[in-house]
Structure 1
Amino acid sequence: MSSPGCHRPKSSDSTKPSGKVAGIGDQSARLTRRVTQRKRLEKQMARVRPKIVFLTPPGGGTEELRELLAEHCQVVYADSLGPRDSDADYLVIPADPGNLGQTGLGDHERDVLLNSVGEALCLVTSGGKLLWGNRMFDTIDDDIKQVVLTAAQEAAVSFQGLDYDPGAEPPIIRREFEMGDNKLYELRMAPMIVEGATEFGDRAVGVLRDISHTGVVRKKLKAVEQAGARLNRFDRDAVAKMNAAQRLRLLEERVTKASKDVLDYDHFTIRLIDDHTGRLEPVISVGFTQDAIDLELYPAEEGNGTIGYVAATGKPYICHDTTTDEKYLVGASEARSSLTVPLMVGEHIIGVLDIESKEVDAFDEQDVQYVAQFSRYVAMALQTLNMLVVERSSTGASITGRFEGEIKAPLDDILRETDICSESIKDPETAAHLAKIRADVEAIRKRLKNVAAGPNTLLGVDDLSTVKADELLKGKRALVADDNDRIGSMIADVLGRRGCRVTLCKNGQEAINELEASAADGHERFDFVISDISMPDRNGYEVFSVASQIVPEEAIILMTGFGYDPHHSIVRASQEGMRNVLYKPFQAARLIDEVHKALTPRGSA
């Protein structure tokens, strides 16, 4: 109530303090008024710079507002409203009616202004008597009016009990109340201060505003917040047992439900930035065409569509019409407008959420607010799922390491006892048994270290060390890609012992080069491919995409540590036919089983 408010004059009569009001039946005056209104309307429509009159002295908080408006509007100050200002498009008056006396306006001018304010004003005593109300107050429903009068009466009583300080800002009581369906009102009440007063009187000024739109926005944001909370409500143990495809499917189901139920959107896509390649990889797409999903996009302000622009700038973008916006590329089928917002974790952009509509200009700034809030919950959910998987890996290694430390002393005791026994025992058979005990102790230690290594090892390799060549694998050409030298070598060794001819690649690009070379004329193609999904240059999905053009899709196996799939390669490859996945650390026997499955045609016994 202490800052200026902007209100459009209701009619030409209400802005003409010196004009005569036509009486009922005075057709000449009525005709003159209509002509004047028409001319004014034509003049307003033709004006490029609307005129704004500040009915308040220059200075204070109005200077900054004037500077902001001056570029597009004609701004003038006036001590009072006169004929020269009758063509104003907007009036800016003090929001606190109690300050009107400082403007130098006459009684008639004050009445005109108070009736032009787009708010219901009233003056009420502590006894509940309505002393005055402006024109808008007279038009409100009786039920609403009674609520206002009761609240203003209570405010007037409470003001009387306060200490009066003429140099301090007057107290303000603010209330909100709902009436009917989706109607929300704000009531502000302040004491009426008489010049020279030494205490607050028994009168309160009430200002009523319809803030139903604010209420609708508030409810929508609350619904988005609740949907976001549900989106991030994970059962840690259940998620830890899920593979990458199951985790992403869970998230997709939740995002889809929230988008439809809360935001009323049916077509959206989520793309995440691949840390290694910099590409925006599609991880969830609902209602988008395959051409849109296949687009190779990067965070860039130009040449990468609205999605690349938002990923590069971190700024939301509204495409009002896909047929005229040069930034728009291709998205949902028959899309005519779109809204794209960044997915952020803190200050870091991890991707984008793109929503599209079949209607032109379907999104506005209010939608930006809703979707931006929702996107924060989506980013949080993606981050949480990945963190749970990483936590599972590190926790498993930590527990195994502690277990290894706990049994170290008993194992050392066993070895000491076998050494003591060996010194006094001459029987060869007993000595052989003691040697076997020592070998078993060392095997236990080795296996514990392998388990503690988590995704960085292959389990049960020793159990298969004496197995002879496998007839199904004998002579088969295999490509193994993993940037972890230890795992790659162990897999190559296991396969090589069974008769495979293995080509070992240390990164994704090297694997792709080998695959493309094998497809050239005169070269022998690979029979099956095993690739890690998280490599520093090209991810598992990219290797799968190239390999699937050279070998059958079922002959491709992807690997990941504890189900960790930062690029969602497993999900995307599964959608395109890949059916074999190994989650590190896995048993060497499981590797052989998966290779057998990859080389066995579907339907075969």
Structure 2
Amino acid sequence: MADKPRLLVIDRDASPDESTVAALGEAFEVVTTQSISRALGLLRESTFAGVYVDAAQLAAVRWVGMILQAEEILDAISDGVAVVDADLRITWANPEFLQLVEPGADVIGTRFFQALPDSEILGPDPSPFTSAVGSREPASTGLKIGGGRYFRITVTPVFDAAGSLSHLIVLTREITDETQQQLKVNAIAKAGDELADLTPEELAQMSAEERTDLLKFNIARHMKDLMGLDFLEIRLLDRKTGELLPLLSEGMSPTAANRELLARKEGHGVTGLVAATGQSYVCPDTTKDPIYIEGAANARSSLTVPLVYHGNVVGTLNVESPQPNNFDDRDRQFLEIYGRNIAAALNTLELLQAEKQSAASASVQAISMEVALPLDDIISDATTVLDRYAGHDEDIIARLRHLLYRAREIRGLITKVGSAIAPATARKATAAASRLGDRRILVVDADEAIRRSAHHLLGEEGAEVETARDGHEAIAMTRQAPYAAILVDIRLPDMDGYEIYHRLREIHPETPVILMTGFGYDPTHSIVKARQEGLQTILYKPFRANRLMEAVEQALRSGIQASGEPPAAGRSTQT
């Protein structure tokens, strides 16, 4: 007896018509299912002579025929497609999806995530199936499976005419390449953020040179670990001279590492071009590029990016490879991101050094200002006694001279200590910016605020300032020590402006004297009479810093012109 033909009966009614099923059973081998998704799976797995559907349920199962007709399309598309039922069991999958599972595994009837080896939901949606059913809209999320492959899965729910969930269609699209690129970007950005990320304790224990060495070590390590690069060079741009100064060189030839380069579009290689234009440059083949200048030995390709901070080029980062065409646009993107972090880290180091310099300068200035007037009192009192004691006990005179020497030495030691704790670059900059070049200047005024202000303003410009409270102290101090210039108030407790001017010029005719007056007040006409004896410079109080400097510099120039050479008496000596 021949086997009966098989008939698939789809009856979604919870209580199917038994008489109908019995009648069909006389002619067919009846296979009954109440799930449309299961019916589709059975049709894939077995051969049936036909499908029986009650007329009332035709609308609900019309999609079955549509999928069957579109089977060739679904099998041919490059994205993986799977159909799952309400229990998330796979009822159908195209060949592309089947390539994601273990070879030879039968995934039909297996829960979706169990079918994928070592699957891990990455987000942003931790439960796309629940979200899709709840919102009745497609839901997407990231998924990682074994072998380091990444996918974006999109779950679309399908409901029947009664609004009940019929099945879900899952589209899987591989995004391994773009995900790995983003992960690399994130890793490079994180590494860049850590370049100058030091705790306050670490900063306190490290010198500027140690912080720079740590930065260079981290850069070299990141280039090797994250980008697999062994040959690199970083140069910093000196904006005043246009020089590109070497900061870090790994794997470059000695000639390349010590080569003098400028930020120029021509004649200074790729590095000079990038620094001048602020544009990255990929050199696919160094043997055919007329701009390229040899860096690493046997390098066949290179990539150079600018180090940019707040829109300004501060240096260049160059990497090279022995393989031609080793760098593409993605490498350029990675290196530009990292280059911005290097620029920010370098700026942080500069700020730290500037902060250290500022703190050192502020400390030294505060100490200097506190001891300035007490030291002046010691110097003026000792000088006055020395001036009056001349010709008497030589031992007393020697002790007074030693006292003066030590008092002036204290001021010099404070400045020396401040210079020692400031960064070397800051010391050079401060020395270069000194306008008065360690010249000793005497300020004579009864007003303590004026004497203190003179210490501050002239001391900032490199002068060694000493002060006197009246004319007799000024005369005694001028007899015992040379000064580059003398500033004198015209209203002293013991002398008027003309008298002190005349007396000082008698002692040192070559020393320029500046008379100071408050708001032009001069009841004794000291200024008029002093002008008749050669007075060149007048300073009106209260004076501004720029006006004070102008007056002192004008007086110093007049002293040079009068003598034909800079007055030696104006330089600080341990007197």
- Give the alignment's TM-score, normalised by structure 2: 0.50
> Could you tell me how far 1:350 is from its partner in structure 2?
0.9
> Could you tell me how far 1:342 is from its partner in structure 2?
1.3
- Alignment correspondent of 1:343: 307
Whole-angstrom distance in 1 between the partners of 2:397 and 2:259:
69
Aligned mate of 2:224, from 260, 265, 272: 260
- Alignment correspondent of 2:292: 328
Which has the larger displacement, 317-326 or 331-340? 317-326
Label 1:295 to 1:140 Cα distance change in 2 as closer, same or farther (>3 A). Answer: same
- Alignment correspondent of 1:396: 360
**Alpha carbons 2:83, 2:90 under 8 Å: kept:** yes
Q: Please list the CA deviations of residues 259-307 of structure 1 after superposition, one character each: whole Å capped at 9, or x if unmatched.
A: 2233221111112212122132333222223443454433344444322
**Alpha carbons 1:126, 1:156 under 8 Å: kept:** no
- Alignment correspondent of 2:141: 174
Equivalent AA in structure 2 for residue 172 of structure 1: A
Label 1:404 to 1:144 Cα distance change in 2 as closer, same or farther (>3 A). Answer: farther
Equivalent AA in structure 1 for residue 94 of structure 2: N
> Could you tell me how far 1:186 is from its partner in structure 2?
2.7
**Alpha carbons 1:155, 1:204 under 8 Å: kept:** no
Q: Please list the CA deviations of residues 110-157 of structure 1 after superposition, one character each: whole Å capped at 9, or x if unmatched.
A: 444433332112232332243443332233315896674578996444
**Alpha carbons 1:126, 1:202 under 8 Å: kept:** yes
Aligned mate of 1:204, from 156, 165, 168: 168
- Alignment correspondent of 1:121: 81
> Could you tell me how far 1:347 is from its partner in structure 2?
1.5
Aligned mate of 2:207, from 240, 249, 265: 240
**Alpha carbons 2:270, 2:281 under 8 Å: kept:** yes
- Alignment correspondent of 1:188: 154
Equivalent AA in structure 1 for residue 188 of structure 2: V
Whole-angstrom distance in 2 between the partners of 1:261 and 1:153:
31
**Alpha carbons 2:208, 2:349 under 8 Å: kept:** no
Matched, 1:311 2:266: no
- Alignment correspondent of 1:56: none
Matched, 1:216 2:180: yes
Aligned mate of 1:361, from 325, 332, 339: 325
Label 1:356 to 1:449 Cα distance change in 2 as closer, same or farther (>3 A). Answer: closer
Whole-angstrom distance in 1 between the partners of 2:272 and 2:415:
45
Whole-angstrom distance in 2 between the partners of 1:307 and 1:431:
67
Name which structure has the greater RCO, CA cutoff 8 Å, separation 6+.
1
Q: Please list the CA deviations of residues 166-221 of structure 1 after superposition, one character each: whole Å capped at 9, or x if unmatched.
A: xxxx3524132332x32233322233367x88x68454332212333334334433
> Could you tell me how far 1:439 is from its partner in structure 2?
7.0
- Alignment correspondent of 2:523: none
Equivalent AA in structure 2 for residue 354 of structure 1: N
Whole-angstrom distance in 1 between the partners of 2:106 and 2:277:
47
Label 1:316 to 1:144 Cα distance change in 2 as closer, same or farther (>3 A). Answer: farther
- Alignment correspondent of 1:502: none
Q: 1:457-472 to 2 correspondence within 5 Å? A: none
Whole-angstrom distance in 2 between the partners of 1:113 and 1:129:
22
Q: 1:10-49 to 2 correspondence within 5 Å? A: none
Label 1:322 to 1:236 Cα distance change in 2 as closer, same or farther (>3 A). Answer: same
**Alpha carbons 2:132, 2:157 under 8 Å: kept:** yes
Task: Determine helix, strand or coil for the equivalent of 1:312.
Answer: helix
Q: 1:398-547 to 2 correspondence within 5 Å? A: 398-407=362-371, 444-445=410-411, 447-448=413-414, 484=434
Whole-angstrom distance in 1 between the partners of 2:260 and 2:378:
61
Q: Please list the CA deviations of residues 473-504 of structure 1 after superposition, one character each: whole Å capped at 9, or x if unmatched.
A: xxxxxxxx9675655999xxxxxxxxxxxxxx
**Alpha carbons 1:160, 1:200 under 8 Å: kept:** no
**Count of aligned pairs:** 352
> Could you tell me how far 1:356 is from its partner in structure 2?
0.7
Q: Is there any run of 5+ residues in structure 1 with no aligned partner, and where?
A: 1-100, 165-169, 459-480, 491-587, 590-605
> Could you tell me how far 1:386 is from its partner in structure 2?
2.8
Label 1:483 to 1:438 Cα distance change in 2 as closer, same or farther (>3 A). Answer: closer
Equivalent AA in structure 1 for residue 333 of structure 2: Q
Whole-angstrom distance in 2 between the partners of 1:153 and 1:331:
50
Whole-angstrom distance in 1 between the partners of 2:407 and 2:95:
95
Task: Determine helix, strand or coil for the equivalent of 1:186.
Answer: strand
Equivalent AA in structure 2 for residue 332 of structure 1: A
> Could you tell me how far 1:450 is from its partner in structure 2?
6.3
**Alpha carbons 1:316, 1:341 under 8 Å: kept:** yes
- Alignment correspondent of 2:336: 372
Equivalent AA in structure 2 for residue 316 of structure 1: S
Q: Please list the CA deviations of residues 542-565 of structure 1 after superposition, one character each: whole Å capped at 9, or x if unmatched.
A: xxxxxxxxxxxxxxxxxxxxxxxx
Whole-angstrom distance in 2 between the partners of 1:354 and 1:292:
12
Q: 1:277-288 to 2 correspondence within 5 Å? A: 277-288=241-252
Whole-angstrom distance in 1 between the partners of 2:184 and 2:384:
78
Q: Please list the CA deviations of residues 339-390 of structure 1 after superposition, one character each: whole Å capped at 9, or x if unmatched.
A: 1111112221111111111111111223223322332332233333333222
> Could you tell me how far 1:412 is from its partner in structure 2?
8.2
Equivalent AA in structure 1 for residue 283 of structure 2: C
- Give the alignment's TM-score, normalised by structure 1: 0.48
Label 1:203 to 1:314 Cα distance change in 2 as closer, same or farther (>3 A). Answer: farther
- Alignment correspondent of 1:297: 261
Which has the larger displacement, 282-291 or 229-238? 229-238
> Could you tell me how far 1:398 is from its partner in structure 2?
0.7
**Alpha carbons 2:159, 2:166 under 8 Å: kept:** no
Greater Rg over alpha carbons, structure: 2
**Alpha carbons 2:231, 2:251 under 8 Å: kept:** yes
Label 1:223 to 1:193 Cα distance change in 2 as closer, same or farther (>3 A). Answer: same
Whole-angstrom distance in 2 between the partners of 1:125 and 1:237:
64
Q: Is there any run of 5+ residues in structure 2 with no aligned partner, and where?
A: 1-61, 115-120, 425-430, 441-571
User: Aligned residues: percent identity?
Assistant: 26
Q: Please list the CA deviations of residues 391-412 of structure 1 after superposition, one character each: whole Å capped at 9, or x if unmatched.
A: 2211101112223345568768
Which has the larger displacement, 282-291 or 407-416? 407-416
Task: Determine helix, strand or coil for the equivalent of 1:330.
Answer: coil
Task: Determine helix, strand or coil for the equivalent of 1:402.
Answer: helix
Whole-angstrom distance in 2 between the partners of 1:270 and 1:421:
63
**Alpha carbons 1:119, 1:207 under 8 Å: kept:** yes
Whole-angstrom distance in 2 between the partners of 1:207 and 1:436:
94
Label 1:220 to 1:240 Cα distance change in 2 as closer, same or farther (>3 A). Answer: same
